[in-house]
Amino acid sequence: MNPEDFPTPDVEVETTTPGALKDRIDAGEDLTLLDARMQSEYEEWHIDGESVTSINVPYFEFLDEEIDEDVLDEIPADSEVTVLCAKGGASEYVAGTLAERGYDVDHLEDGMNGWASIYEAVEITDYNGAGTLLQYQRPSSGCLGYLLYDGGEAAIIDPLRAFTDRYLDDAEDLGVDLQYALDTHVHADHISGVRELDNDGVEGVIPEAAVDRGVTYADQLTTAEDGDSFELGDATIETVYTPGHTTGMTSYLVDGSLLATGDGLFIESVARPDLEEGDEGAPDAARMLYESLQERVLTLPDETLIGGAHFSDAAEPAADGTYTALIGELVANMDALTMDEDEFVELILSDMPPRPANYEEIIATNLGQNAVDDNEAFALELGPNNCAASQESLAGD
């Protein structure tokens, strides 16, 4: 059913915003969430947390006037419950039927679509380069981006199309001119914002090494080769070719202090190697990834920060709230980074998680082969990113 098809509840139902819900989760409050989406949608992607109790009861269980007692028994009657769905219509209806029965309930505004609209900027205080470096965080999918600004100029690394206006507004608020929008690779889990920003007057940058995948708009943007650099005030962003996750995977060394690794290395895992070449090409890609990590990433000083393009539920944020870690810390804590090549390849191929939802269509869109409007683009990237290898098998004891 569409949200407009649900009847308006006879009782007033309070609404909670996605931002307010996240604040409560971050504060460690004990919360009960009733997710009224279908079980398959819930199992693929839902809101979780250490202090969150999540219950899945599909909305259709509440459509009959007489709700099954077994359904009501699943919902605690002695605590506040927040009901959520995909877009907010079903959750308001379900919350209303529960409120009529005496439950203490509210519902999540705009549902999981609203949750996916949360996008926060956190300063990386351990960054020691010129200027200021922010990390953008999208908790719904674990997507990360980076905004560097210095001397009145700024650059965004791995921007999301859904937040193009946000970057421009933030740059205006900071009093800086957004000069560059750089992609690390052809993403498989979200729609890139590089082309949209380029259309708005920002210089779009894609890796030269990624063009061979069939990028249709390469001649309209700047292409970055290994060793190229981009200046912002007194800061420099240097291109570092790090293939493995994809053949065009490229990292950006931000003023010698932080390596924005895209999907090559995360603070809790390494890249999965199968999204470009499939299962057949994954072993060769895994060996390419090993060489990139050992020869291009881990040869940097131990005090260099690593910042990936994603974080998972297994990731522990740093003291400043960012998903960053020193190379020395990662080598000490992640067994995969100290293995020989054969062990490494065998390990990351042994326990591959499901591929990202809609990844083939997302890749085609990012290549320019598939045109979608903003609403379609937003819908395509809903859900977990799954661009990393299994975190459990890669972490140290």
Catalytic positions? 85
Among residues 38, 107, 32, 37, the alpha carbon closest in space to that of 76 is found at 32
The span from the CA of 219 to the CA of 215, in Å, is: 9
The type of residue at 55 is I
CA distance 358 to 362: 6
Q: Please give the Cα distance from 302 to 293 (Å, whole number).
A: 13
DSSP characters for 98-129?
A: HHTTT--EEEETTHHHHHTT--EEEE-TT--S
* Entry field: residues in the chain: 397
**How many Cβ atoms from other residues are within 10 Å of residue 346's Cβ?**
12
Instruction: Name residue, tokens 């959520």.
Output: 84
* Closest by CA position to 248, among listed 276, 286, 282: 276
What is the Cα–Cα distance from 377 to 321, expressed in whole angstroms? 29
- Cα separation, 331 vs 128, in Å, equals 20
CA–CA dist 325, 304 (Å, integer): 8
**Location of structure tokens 């060769």:** 284
Q: Which of 226, 231, 170, 167 is nearest to 202 (CA)?
A: 167
* Alpha carbon distance 381, 383 (integer Å): 6
